[in-house]
Amino acid sequence: MNENTHHLEPDMQNQRRDIESIQRSLRTLAQEDKRIPSLNVDGLFGPETAASVKAFQRISGLPVTGSVDFATWEALADAYQTVVFRYSAALPVPLFPSPDAVLMSGDTGDAVYTVQLMINGIGQNFQNLPHLEITGRYDRETLKAVESFQQLFQLPVTGQVDKVTWNALTVSYTAR
């Protein structure tokens, strides 16, 4: 193996991955817009890929060259992202601070706000859960409501929200 071959291999692998990324994006967009010809993902920039690129450029109001310059790359990435976001399942928002975290009296923030919201939602089905003012502050009322929830769902009654209590709240809230 000569010195030049050694330096070209990683670039060729990267180039092939880039072409495969372009082809996957175009293939996805072709399912959404029949004006873009569908193509196989093979990592080779041949006539089939060039035809799909041209169609995408035409639709996107870009210069129709059949090659992928920066403007085409950016437009392709934006269009692909839009389609994927439209058809993907809703993504969860991770609110619990960390697996080892414990929410307790005196804490504030989005996680506490969410605990209060979930307790109120669950409380619509259970009369013995108090209705909370949603403040984002882990106050005495929140502590008492957490204790009531823990007792109702046969969890250790600590008045604190650890991972086990959080998961029970989440499952109970989404199952209502």
Condensed to tens digits (0 to 9), the pLDDT of residues 81-130 reads 999 888 888 777 788 888 899 999 999 999 999 999 999 999 999 888 99
In a domain, 1, yes or no: no
Residue from 163, 165, 136, 125 nearest 149 by CA: 165
Task: Say yes or no: 49 and 118 in one domain.
Answer: no
Task: Say yes or no: 159 and 114 in one domain.
Answer: yes
In a domain, 132, yes or no: yes
In a domain, 100, yes or no: no
Question: What is the domain extent for residue 21?
Answer: 10-87
The span from the CA of 36 to the CA of 31, in Å, is 8
Task: Say yes or no: 72 and 28 in one domain.
Answer: yes
In a domain, 102, yes or no: no
Residue with tokens 């169609």: 55
Domain count, the chain: 2
In a domain, 75, yes or no: yes
φ, ψ at 95 (rounded to 5°): -100, -25
Task: Say yes or no: 117 and 170 in one domain.
Answer: yes
> Residues 7-40: pLDDT tens digits?
334 566 779 899 999 999 999 999 999 999 999 9
Alpha helix (H) ranges present in 33-134? 47-60, 70-87, 110-123
Q: In the 8-state DSSP scheme, what is residue 108?
A: B
The span from the CA of 17 to the CA of 101, in Å, is 40
